[in-house]
Structure 1
Amino acid sequence: MRFDPVAALIAYHDAINRLDFEAIETMFAEDALYVSPGFGGETRGRAAILKAFRDYFARFPDQHAKDDLVEQLGDRSVRSVWRLEATDRTTGEVIRRNGEEVTDFDDAGRIVRVTVFDRG
């Protein structure tokens, strides 16, 4: 069966929206790299990435993101254009962000790199 990076990304984003940390964990390679200003820069390794997700969602538990575009860039690479809204649990402030994400997968279909570009 041929790997579909678009379907893999859609499943990954769905797991994030459901806060299904077990599913998210299985989607990352052990030595994955997550690059995002929202996570403080670069986070390396599945365990560290999952910790960053848990910390982020402890602060923004109601976040919901939507992909406006998902496009395949290569055999194992996909780009999404997204927007999100969330409430900061500590301040009550509602944030709205949008940006792009490039996600790369290994031969086993696990995420090896996520690069997030915030637009605002």
Structure 2
Amino acid sequence: MLTLLTAAAVAAASPSPKQVLQDVFAAFNRHDAAAVASYYADDAVIISPDFCGEKIGPAFVRENYAGYFGAFPDAHDQVLSMIEQGDTVAVEFVFTGTAGGQKVRTPISSFVTVKNGKIVRDVTYFDVQPTPDCTSKAAEKAK
């Protein structure tokens, strides 16, 4: 019985999965890699097209985002939509930043699972080789 009460108390004290993601995006936009990493469980699985395989845990997250902030001093994520269902959040956002004088704009979608206030799975999708003229090609096809 005590175990059930403790589990219920932890669940009640934990922020919603959507709130966790809102906090993560706020930390990202402050360029606070340590704060972003603090939302990840020790055994969190992180999957992204720019990684060679699955990555695990907050130490990786902290190092990875510190690298982004170094490479893109004006890095910013703009959340377009966020949908919470159970312990999973689907989020659509746009990353913008400038590296070496080159402006970057990347639409991204992530599916994040949160348990007891910690991210346990973060799967992200984006085009790793965007085509600068894809809009004009789409317009040509429409003619």
Q: TM over 0.5: same fold?
A: yes
Q: Aligned equivalents of 1:39 and 1:66: distance in 2?
A: 22
**Cα deviations by residue, 1:1-45 (Å, 9 ceiling, x for unpaired):** 374111111111111111122322221101111111245553212
Mapped pair 1:72 → 2:72: no
- Give the fraction of aligned pairs with identical amino acids, expressed as a percent: 28
- Going by fraction, where is helix more abundant, 1 or 2? 2
Greater RCO, CA 8 A, separation 6+: 1
Q: Tell me if structure 2 keeps the 8 A contact 1:35–1:115.
A: yes
Q: 1:109 maps to which residue? A: 117
The amino acid of 1:113's aligned partner reads: R
The amino acid of 2:21's aligned partner reads: L
**Structure 2, gaps ≥5 residues long:** 1-11, 131-143
The TM-score, its normalising length taken from structure 2, stands at: 0.73
The amino acid of 2:90's aligned partner reads: R
Q: Aligned equivalents of 1:19 and 1:78: distance in 2?
A: 22
Q: 2:75 maps to which residue? A: 63
Mapped pair 1:95 → 2:104: yes
What RMSD over aligned residues (CA atoms) do the two structures have, in Å? 1.7
Larger radius of gyration: 2
**Structure 1, gaps ≥5 residues long:** none
Q: Aligned equivalents of 2:40 and 2:69: distance in 1?
A: 18
- Going by fraction, where is strand more abundant, 1 or 2? 1
Q: Aligned equivalents of 1:92 and 1:39: distance in 2?
A: 24
Q: Tell me if structure 1 keeps the 8 A contact 2:94–2:108.
A: yes
Q: 1:83 maps to which residue? A: 94
Q: 2:17 maps to which residue? A: 5
Mapped pair 1:50 → 2:62: yes
